[in-house]
Amino acid sequence: MQDDWEDKTVVAGDVPVAEAPDGKRAQLVVLAGPNVGEMYSLEGTHTMGRGRNADLRIRGDGVSRQHLRFVVNGEEVRLEDLGSTNGSFVNGERADTVTLRDGDKIQIGSATILKFTYQDKMEEDFQRQMYESASRDGLTGIYNKRFFQERLANEVAFAVRHQSSLSLLLFDIDHFKRINDCHGHPAGDYVLASLADIVVPVIRGEDLFARYGGEEFALLTRGIDAESAAALAERIRRAIEGFPFVHEGQELKVTTSVGVVTMPREDISGGDDLIAAADKALYEAKHSGRNRVVVASLAAAMSS
């Protein structure tokens, strides 16, 4: 079931992008819902939905596996609803088949709103830069806390509704203040950026990795059980422990403590619950010696 729930929308096809008469390209911009701010080029024919076979895969309550189709024919772009359960709406009106005009607003599901528009290369680049600057941490290049929190609620809601696996790894750098105090803040920044570079190759493309606080990081991963999540956390911990951190000729000893929680769990119904359970496990890792992985216990959570 989790295969129908992807972090990244994929644009399929390798055909020329449809262009308006003035040379601008047909685009969809996400105005509301998951992936807000992201933009997709329309080229050829695409299906949109949450299913694994959709060309444009998008999450959201009320989105069908195969929800609608966009058909590009020369200068014309047509929207066709594919018999979706909750329908497709263009400018507030339910639409089965409609030719789109620049500026049309498309709603699918309960919260996903797209804008159809034509943009030139400069406008497209600006839109992508705005999206990146709003969702990425400037130092590490990974997602920022704001973006992570926006996505967390939707991920947890989906996992609760479908009783599917969702794991959160919450970890931070042991004795990070000591690094800053002894070696200066540039050394601390080097450690933070390097840690992100270490973790990214270890995780999957669909995993959501973010800088959650000053020296705290969060990794949200779907479709793996508690044992696999713990193994992933241990692999990350070892990779960081074994990395040769060297800043301005000085070797730095860097380790991390990791708290892990996996749902479905009866005590977790929202994002705050998931964060609290992982944070409690992280606290235990810190206070039991650091540089270790602790998996959240359901029994401990229920008794607290």
222, β-bridge pairs = 166
Active site residue 216: no
Considering 150, 215, 241, 266, which one is annotated as catalytic?
215
The one-letter code for the residue type at 9 is T
* C-alpha to C-alpha distance for 167 and 261, rounded to whole angstroms: 6
Question: Please, which residues have CB within 8 angstroms of residue 183's CB and are 6 or more apart in sequence?
Answer: 247, 250, 252
Q: How far is CA 134 from CA 38, 89, 139, 208, in A?
A: 11, 28, 13, 15
β pairing state of 293-295 and 256-263: parallel
Looking up tokens 């301005």 gives: 248
Put the strands of the sheet holding 68-73 in their side by side order: 56-57, 45-49, 68-73, 76-81, 97-99
Residues carrying an active site annotation: 215
